[in-house]
Amino acid sequence: MRTEDNRNSRAIRNRTRRRCQLRSRLIMCFLTFILVTVFSAAFFGFRARAQENDMKNDGKQAYKYYKSITVEAGDTLWHYAQEYGDQHYYEDCNAYIQEVKNINSLQSDQITTGCHLILPYYSSL
C-alpha cells in the first residue's frame, strides 16, 4: 500500500513538473517568435526607408561620389553647396557645408583661391 502511494505521488509530481516544463517552453517559443517578428519588421522597415531615400525622382539609385576642385576667385563654400548639395540628401546648404568642412579638415568657412577641396555629390551614373 505504501509503495503504491509513493508511486502515485511520484507520478503526480512528475506530471506537474512536465506541465510546468511544457508551459515554460511554450512561453519561450512564443516570446522568441514575437522577438523575431519585431526585429524583422524593424530591420526591413529601416531597409525599405533607406532604399527609398537612395532613389531619386527618376527612379534610379544614386551613388555618392567625390570631386576634387581648385578654388577660384570669388568662390565660397555656400556657392559649392548650392551647386553640388542635392536637396534629397542634405537638409540644407549648411549640412552640405559641414560635410565639406569635415572631409577637408577645415576649421572655418573661409577658403582661399588656389586651394584644393574634395566635394561630395550624388549621381545615378
The domain that contains 83 carries what CATH number? 3.10.350
- Domain range spanning residue 9? 1-54
Q: Are residues 8 and 37 in the same domain?
A: yes
**Do 47 and 73 lie in a common domain?**
no
Choose the final residue of a domain: 54, 72, 93.
Answer: 54
Q: Same structural domain for residues 112 and 77?
A: yes
Q: How many domains does the chain have?
A: 2
**Same domain (yes/no): 44, 74:** no
Q: Name the least confident of 1-15, 63-77, 97-111.
A: 1-15
pLDDT of residue 86: 85
Q: Is the pLDDT of residue 57 over 60?
A: no
User: Which amino acid makes up residue 42?
Assistant: A
Top pLDDT among 115 and 55 is at 115
**DSSP character for 121?**
E
Closest-CA residue to 64 (of 106, 118, 107, 104): 118
Closest CA to 103 of 86, 73, 81: 81
The pLDDT, as a whole number, for residue 6 is: 75
pTM of the model: 0.53
pLDDT digits (tens, 9 = 90+) for 68-92: 999 999 999 999 999 998 888 888 9
Give phi and psi for 77, each to the nearest 5. -60, -35
| More confidently predicted of 8 and 94 | 94
Quick one: 109 and 80 in the same domain? yes
> Could you say which of 54, 72, 91 is where a domain stops?
54
Q: In the chain, pLDDT over 90 holds for what percent of residues?
A: 54
Q: Are residues 67 and 114 in the same domain?
A: yes
With a cut of 70, say whether residue 56 has pLDDT above it. no
Select from 18, 35, 54 the last residue of a domain. Answer: 54
